[in-house]
Structure 1
Amino acid sequence: MKKFSLLSNRAGALFLAPGAILVALFVIIPFFWVIFVSFTNRTLLGRTAVNPDFVGLQNYLALFNPETFFTRGQFGFSLILTTQFVILSALVGQALLGLLLAWLMQAVPKPLKAFTETCVIAAWILPEVVIGFAWFAFLDYDNGTLNGILRSIGLPGADLLLQQPFWVIVFFNTWRGAAFSMMLFNSAFQSIPPSYFQAADVAGATSFQKFRDIALPLIRGHVVTDLILITMWTFNVFTPFILTHGGPSYRTELLSIYTYRVAFKDFEFGKGAAVGVIIMLINLAFALVYLRIARSRNKEAEQ
């Protein structure tokens, strides 16, 4: 009787089969189905719900129509708004705040460091829906905690969700996402040999000089990794929908929210699929950049 080795290719394929089937059903097949639908006029209601017509690049041309591209509520406006949101929230907000917190944590007493890390990580691990509704309850004009505090000290309340909705979602996403950057940079700083900083202390270097001349050059690979990852996550984030629903007047309608409105509110599945394909291509570009940087870092480590 032939023995069945656990290390054989057949055994490996057998163990991988359930996972491969799930990936095919929920990732690969939907991926190609979305691409196919983007070339049709499929909708939820009417004749095209059952028998959609092939329209070629019509959906893509409609998205990039120069006459409506910059109009509020259209694809171009959401794309530009999402770009601004990513730059302010991810690149400027999360990365810089996480880097600053991680550097400050290197010099504080351990009890304070543990308490701060616990508070920051709590913002990261709590479910997005819970965090979103908590912020909505905090900022609500009529019964929100913020306005309750302001009115109790004699100041007028502020309807930030109506007056400054874009800056609200930028601040909200920065507050939530800075935890990942802080944890990544904290690990990077701890990997630097303490003797480097001890020698700088002997030379009389200030904290800023140690950060600029020692820490930052040694963690530049971590900085690039952090920037790419948080850019991808922020580009696809949907949580601001809980706060503003994309409003008022489409002023906070990011690409993820725009896709949801077109596909599941306007029921234009073909157009929504076209937006999804464009988002996938943008994410693919980010992923390729990340993989290239990761490979270059591995080669440097091997050398």
Structure 2
Amino acid sequence: MTTESTTEKPKTKGFALLSPRAGAAFLTPAGLLVAVFVIAPFFWVIFVSFTNRTLLGRTALNPEFIGFGNYLTLFDFDNFFQRGQFGFSLILTVQFVLFSALLGQALLGLLLAWLIQTVPPTVKRITETFVIAAWILPEVVIGFAWFAFLDRDQGTLNMLLTSVGLPPGDFLLEHPFWVIVFFNTWRGAAFSMMLFNSAFSSIPPSYFQAADVAGASSWQKFKDIALPLIRGHIVTDLILITMWTFNTFTPFLLTNGGPSYRTELISIYNYRVAFRDFEFGKGAAVGVIIMLINLAFALVYLSLGRKKRKA
């Protein structure tokens, strides 16, 4: 009778590089910065939104608690839809997001990303370089460049129109809303294009090669192969550009919110109320509403991401 002796390997316990106290010591400075510059202002804005605090006058030093007074003023439906009021800016921002982000940046970025898949590698790299350059340039530089391009008297666009016999126009005065829509679309389409370009590049080439053998057209390959495979990227792009477009302030450089409040997006309205009219309480209430809307976008994004991981 033979017996086999089994030797048990000693269990090796993992060890931490840092002790809990050392880890806490390293995290403390970052935690303090977050508490001072993020958490504290967050709760301060919420508190101020329930007061009549202003920059000047008696209520600057001794604000009074007015409960939901600022919110009731913002949602006063007697003048809710009038220019210069919160409701008008909110609806204008929704239209701006719809035309600029959803119908502009996403579609244009998707189209450009698909088109550069069929060009030679050299042309593709040059295009990507220009797109990235347009994306990384500071918004202030881009804003003033567009202002110079659209200027009525010395603008480049009017010079080009005049050179071909077309009448010049004062686009910032006559069509201010569509100007900021085109501006933001041109600015943001670069991000969508880079995201979709990366998504298309991750698709195995054999899928498209098999479609070529079957005689599929470019539209059929796009509709039946590419779109289903990048559905998650499309959702991510739509949610991100929606949040960015909803909170953008750059159109202020072109139109200053005018003329006659026709381009006063909700971010510009918040700036005017808080830092021009000096109504800090009312401006804080607008800020809280914007935070709630952004929170709704974030929850939608997280829920969709959770469903994607489970799938």
Q: TM-score range by the shorter chain?
A: over 0.9
Q: What secondary structure sits across from 1:15 in the alignment?
A: helix
Task: Give CA deviations for 1:216-239 in whole Å, capped at 9, x if unaligned.
Answer: 001101100000000000000000
Gaps of 5+ in 1: none
Match in the other structure for 1:119: 130
CA distance in 1 between partners of 2:293 and 2:235 (Å): 18
| 1:290 paired residue among 301, 304, 308 | 301
> How many residues align structurally?
297
Distance 2:290 2:171 in 1: 29
- The TM-score normalised by the length of structure 1 is 0.96
1:29 equivalent to 2:61? Answer no
Equivalent position of 1:73 in the other structure: 84
Q: Which residue of 1 aligns with 2:13?
A: none
Q: Does 1:190 align with 2:201?
A: yes
Structure 1 residues 220-279: Cα deviation after superposition (integer angstroms, max 9, x where no partner): 011000000000000000000000000000000000000000000000000000000000
The answer for the alignment partner of 1:172 in structure 2 is 183
Match of 2:139 among 115, 128, 133: 128
**Alignment counterpart, residue 279 of structure 2, candidates 268, 275, 299:** 268
1:46-195 equivalences under 5 Å are 46-195=57-206
1:45 to 56, 66, 75: 56
- Taking the aligned partners of 2:244 and 2:22, their CA distance within structure 1 comes to 36
Could you tell me which runs of 5 or more consecutive residues in structure 2 were left unpaired when the two chains were aligned: 1-15
CA distance in 1, matches of 2:181, 2:68: 34
* Mapped contact 1:6–1:12 kept (Cα < 8 A): no
Shift of 1:152: 3.0
Paired-residue identity, % = 79
Please give the alpha-carbon distance, in whole angstroms, between the structure 2 residues aligned to 1:104 and 1:155.
31
The residue type equivalent to 2:95 in the other structure is: Q
Please tell me whether the aligned partners of residues 140 and 159 of structure 1 are also in contact (alpha carbons under 8 angstroms).
yes
Please identify, of 153-162 and 195-204, the stretch whose mean Cα deviation from structure 2 is larger: 153-162
2:248 to 230, 237, 262: 237
> Letter of the aligned partner of 2:270 in structure 1?
T
Q: Distance in 2 between matches of 1:33 and 1:242?
A: 29
TM (normalized to structure 2)? 0.94
Structure 1 counterpart of 2:290, one-letter code: I
Q: What CA distance in whole angstroms lies between the structure 1 residues aligned with 2:20 and 2:100? A: 47
Q: Deviations over 1:267-300 (max 9, x none)?
A: 0000000000000000000011111112222233
Between structure 1 and structure 2, the one with the greater Rg is 2
Moved over 3 A (4+): none
